Structure 1
Amino acid sequence: MDEKETGRVEAFSDGVFAVAITLLVLNIQPPPLSDPNLLSDNGLLRYLANQWPDLLAFITSFATIGVMWINHHKMFSRITYVDNSLLSLNLLLLFIVVIFPYPTALLAQQYAAHPEGHTAAIFYSVINFLLAVCFNLLWRYASHNNRLLRKDADTQDIAAISRQYLYGPFINLFIFILAWINVTVCVAVILLAALFFALPGRSSSKASQSQRREA
């Protein structure tokens, strides 16, 4: 195990997250202003209004990847050592992250052309589920018996984070079921899930701080 390698892993991971987020915006195509129908204000406004599925898919995916990056950063702030298994699990997570723009584009295109269609939303929810599973595998491998964490890591803090991350696969399984029923509700729940995971372990961190003050 190497303590110095964590910085390199974080830097590489940050680059992959940045590329994935950048690719998301490429799914939003600017209007072809060579079209005379789009030269007027009304024509351009109609075009932009019709792009709302692309914008919704972009916002949802940006929130998902952004929150994933925040949690990845917080995770590695607690990880002190790196081994080959951790590197492999991290690469698996990044593999799912970097293909995320594809189901995003697919969801936007099908929703714009056929709002009642469910296939793209189902595929999108499967990718979300895989993200949650990979993230849990990465964290649980590193945190099991403080395998790769600081030796003085707060056990209550670690347990609280583990519990909150455990919700991820189950929430995304629920989202997968929703994708078969109502695509709009499915996307809304994905956004709410991103908010839920924005600040993992916050309560436990506060508890740890109060315990230190009491000590």
Structure 2
Amino acid sequence: MQSTAFVGREIRISKGRFEAFSDGVFAIAITLLVLGFQAPKGNEATAATMGSWLLRLWPQYIVYAATFVTIGIMWFNHYALFHHARHISYGALVANLALLMLIAFLPFPTLLLGQFGLVSTLLFLYSLLMVLISVCYGALYYVVMLQPGEQGSVGGFIRSRSAWNTLGPVVYAIAMAVSFVSPLAALLLILAMAVFYMLPMTVASALAAGARGSTEEQ
């Protein structure tokens, strides 16, 4: 099976290889998050003080959980988007690469937050990255929907996510501003956004919209 096909002047990429590559980037990015945790050095902690040392890492736990959940939700949305897509155009490939580039960068600010704590500059960088990821997701959605024959199931899924795609950049932009006043509040906003995307009703509505669109196509 060819991995690339030419349809008229349009280049179409193998959907299987496209999804496999994307899944690999998501998996590596989410695995690298654990590198933010480092064992105590020297006399930083002893067997007697290990409990208190672990408790002092609570900001790092929040950062890890927020980023892990966020990447997990990104992967789910990515899967749901391309589950009903018939093919991958060159435009979708480029938009997807931009998105994956940003997602692969997420472990870096997460690592810095783990090492230096809830610093305003780092929370600003983290929030800015989330804004850019949200914008790239929106761009990817509409590039895919504009592909020939994708207005049914994919269109239904994207229409169901329009409000969420608008809400994400707004909340993350607020987190950027709040980061200079309260880094913890900015982090909690990011975590709250991830939890919201995980709500069963949010997930179910997106899947139902895709299923309705698929039925309409037939």
Q: What TM-score, normalized to structure 2?
A: 0.81
Report the count of equivalent residues: 203
What is the CA distance between 1:175 and its match in structure 2?
A: 1.5
Query: Take 1:149 and 1:168, find their aligned partners in 2: how far apart are those partners?
Result: 28
**Unmatched runs of 5 consecutive residues or more in structure 2:** 1-9
Q: Does 2:58 correspond to 1:52?
A: yes
1:84 alignment partner AA: Y
Check if 1:62 corresponds to 2:82.
no
- What SS does structure 2 have at the residue aligned with 1:30? coil
Give SS of 1:38's match.
Answer: coil
1:38 lines up with 2:40 in the alignment: no
* In structure 2, C-alpha distance between the alignment counterparts of 1:104 and 1:37, rounded to whole Å: 22
The alpha carbon displacement at 1:6 in A equals 1.5
| CA distance 1:7–1:148, change in 2 (3 Å) | farther
- 1:139 maps to 141
- The amino acid that maps onto 1:38 is A
TM-score w.r.t. the length of structure 1 is 0.82
More strand by share: 2
Shift of 1:17: 0.6
Structure 2 Cα separation of the partners of residues 82 and 207 of structure 1? 21
Report if aligned partners of 1:6, 1:82 keep a CA contact under 8 Å in 2.
yes
Equivalent of 1:103, from 98, 109, 119?
A: 109
Using the alignment, how far apart are the partners of 2:108 and 2:62 within structure 1? 15
For residues 74 and 44 of structure 2, what CA distance do their matches in structure 1 show?
41
Matched, 1:167 2:188: no
Match of 2:38 in 1: 29
1:19-77 Cα distance to aligned partner (Å, 9 max, x none): 11111101101234xx467342x321122122222222111111111111111111111
Partner Cα separation in structure 2 for residue 210 and residue 73 of structure 1: 17
Aligned to 2:120: 118
Aligned to 2:130: 128
What does residue 10 of structure 1 align with?
19
In structure 2, C-alpha distance between the alignment counterparts of 1:36 and 1:208, rounded to whole Å? 56
- The secondary structure found in structure 2 opposite 1:138 is helix
Q: How many Å separate the matches in 2 of 1:210 and 1:153?
A: 7
Kindly indicate whether the alpha-carbon contact (under 8 Å) linking 1:25 and 1:58 is maintained by their aligned counterparts in 2: yes
After alignment, is 47-56 or 96-105 more displaced?
47-56
